[in-house]
Structure 1
Amino acid sequence: MYPYAILVFLCLFIPGFGKIPPPTNVRMDSVNLKNILRWNPPPGFEEDEDIRYHVQFRLDFRNPGEYQNCCLTQHLNCDLTVITYKFNATVTALVGDKQSDPVVIHFDPYAETVIGPPEVLVSSRSGHMDISFSGPYFESDSTKDSIKAKYGELLYRVFYWKKEDPSHVLSVNTSQSTGTLTKLETWTIYCLKVQAYISSFGKEGLFSPEICRKTTDDGRTPWWQIAGMFLATMLFTMSATLGLCYFGFTARRKYLSFPSYSIPEHLKEYLSKPFSSSPNLPTQPSEEYGESCEQLTFISVESEEETNGEMEKNGEKLQN
């Protein structure tokens, strides 16, 4: 019972002896080599109280040297992104002229940072799925580079499956920024997610959000469509040819049977004027004119020769 009472007493009255409790839960949050050192206030203190924190670091060399100052802040974090080699960091709480013992953590950025998810674009094309990748990116105050530029290598691991059968997962790896999933079933919904992988460190990145797309046909035209297109083309060609022949023949026959002609202008002018009165045509012969009849004689060629012969004979007789 007494040890516990002594411990409580010390925790409550340590500030009076020139010491304050150290910060708690000191940790490094690092994603894509952006390293943020975080901590919680010492026991009995709040974030908004008049307390400061002193952060120092020292590179983890064989001969490390002295600690270097990095941050003196009232916030509960310190950005250590500029440090790209493994190092030790310390956090000390300060209240007035009193300070806590430093809390030390060790961190190796390349080995311990978390690789974020890549950016992925997916499109369905002729029974395939085209995928494009970008990132993850290392971001600092002045630059934005691909993680590949930092590690020197980067693989994209693609996991895909049919939406109706999520237990059967297939995978493919590529170091390129684009890829194509082939041998997919047509008109089927496939889902996929992608993660970055760095083999030299055995680091697996976070997965990208799940993306689902429906495949279309396989890009091959079925034989029945080819046959249908061929027959339709043949029928169209035959119909067009027969139509041209029919109209050509009809137009030529009309031209030969009914040649074009024009009515003389004086007849057009006469016919265009309406008659003022009906013409006076006698319907019955009038007695005033009487009858005038003459005899018509039809002479054939033979009769004409005989007549000429008789006229010659008569002429000879008259001469005698």
Structure 2
Amino acid sequence: MIFTLYLKSCFFTFSVSVVLAIVPHPKNVRVTSVNMGAVLEWDISHQAPGNLTYTAEYSSDAAFEAVCQNQTEQRCDFTKVISPYGNYVFQVRAELQEESSQWVKTSEFIPDKDTLIGAPTVGLVSKNRNLEMDIREPVLRVSSLKGIYSRVSYNIKYWREGSEDQVTMLNDIQQTRKGLSQLEPWTRYCVQVQVFIKTFQKRGEFSEVTCETSTTDGRVEPWMIGVVLVVSFVAVSVVFPLLFLLTCYIYKGLKFLFPTAKLPEHFRQYLIEPSSHSYIFVAMQNIPQTDEQYHEVSVISEWMEGPLEEGGPLYSHSERLQGSEEEEAGKEMKK
């Protein structure tokens, strides 16, 4: 905004123009670049109005081209419009309606040189007393690591867990599969890896700490064989009896819940066909009962004095029965 002041003197009248900047410009303008990304970020003073908008531009030569316009966010992503091998300058300004602040430019930005390389991914496997590492390069936002840099290597540091002050370094390792040898058996080791770009002496971020326990080289110590045998004997002596008892209890329980005894066949038929049996039972109830014939029997003592006359009133029990039977047989014959 331009204000013009008119000043008068006795002989001359002249004007003075004063330019007043009422829109505060962005502060702390910076380029944040990780894995070949390019994001322009900035801050604003606390006294600035709350309805400011921003325009951000980039240039690889003399001309600037806008990427973010009239936005309220204090960042602009240029990743999709830059090349890994170009030289770029970014600028940004604040705007308030028809007014705007002065442009604030960054220093020259070279993506392949200035970008920060992220951490690789590390897999660790214990094998034959050695630890074998599988290193996977970080994923870039533009192209790939080996597609941009002609020579990629790794710096590796490892240590025994609990002894972080005794670190062993392996620098400029080009293999993505690397074994760590001469380790103590049955000891836990930890590893970290970073990318190293020798062309720019650029070191990336270290990976997360990965730990694994080393094993033996395949030779079995005699004392370990004894320990295994003792443990196996104790396990067999305890487990087998418990399994036998458990099997017995289970068998008894199943016998109780599901008995194997079966009903006789005629009972089953009776239960299956109750109507026919009930008919037979009713029929048997309706048959008239016949009169039963019987003879009076007298029991006397065998110790009686005097002879017993045949046919007399005093017969022995067996003789009277025999006589009755003979009499009945005679009557039948007469008929």
TM-score category, normalised to shorter length = 0.5 to 0.7
Post-superposition offset of 1:113: 1.2
Post-superposition offset of 1:34: 0.8
Whether 1:35 and 2:33 are equivalent positions in the alignment is no
Match of residue 79 from structure 1: 77
Match of residue 138 from structure 1: 140
Structure 1 stretches of 4+ moved >3 Å:
16-19, 220-226
Describe the shift of the 1:91–1:118 C-alpha distance in structure 2 as closer, same or farther (beyond 3 A).
Answer: same
* Alignment map for 1:71-220 (pairs within 5 Å): 71-72=68-69, 73-81=71-79, 82-84=81-83, 85-106=86-107, 107-139=109-141, 145-173=143-171, 174-220=173-219
TM-score, length-normalised on structure 1?
Answer: 0.59
SS at match of 2:33: strand
Quote the sequence identity (%).
Answer: 30
CA shift digits 1:246-285 (9 cap, x unpaired): xxxxxxxxxxxxxxxxxxxxxxxxxxxxxxxxxxxxxxxx
Residue pair 1:195, 1:204 contacting (<8 A) in 2 also: yes
Match of residue 24 from structure 2: 21
SS at match of 2:140: strand
Amino acid at match of 2:48: F
SS at match of 1:111: helix
Distance 1:32 1:219 in 2: 42
SS at match of 1:31: coil
Amino acid at match of 1:192: V
SS at match of 1:34: coil
TM-score, length-normalised on structure 2?
Answer: 0.56
What's the C-alpha RMSD, in Å, of the aligned pairs? 2.5
Amino acid at match of 1:35: A
Amino acid at match of 1:104: K
Residue pair 1:39, 1:77 contacting (<8 A) in 2 also: yes
CA shift digits 1:191-246 (9 cap, x unpaired): 111101100010001111111211111233457889xxxxxxxxxxxxxxxxxxxx
Runs (5+) with no aligned partner, structure 1: 1-15, 227-320
Residue pair 1:158, 1:194 contacting (<8 A) in 2 also: yes
Match of residue 48 from structure 2: 45
Residue pair 1:21, 1:43 contacting (<8 A) in 2 also: no
Match of residue 301 from structure 1: none
Distance 1:18 1:164 in 2: 60
Residue pair 2:154, 2:193 contacting (<8 A) in 1 also: yes
Distance 2:20 2:170 in 1: 63
Post-superposition offset of 1:180: 1.0
Residue pair 2:24, 2:48 contacting (<8 A) in 1 also: no
Post-superposition offset of 1:65: 2.2
Residue pair 1:122, 1:132 contacting (<8 A) in 2 also: yes
SS at match of 1:193: strand
Distance 1:109 1:220 in 2: 52
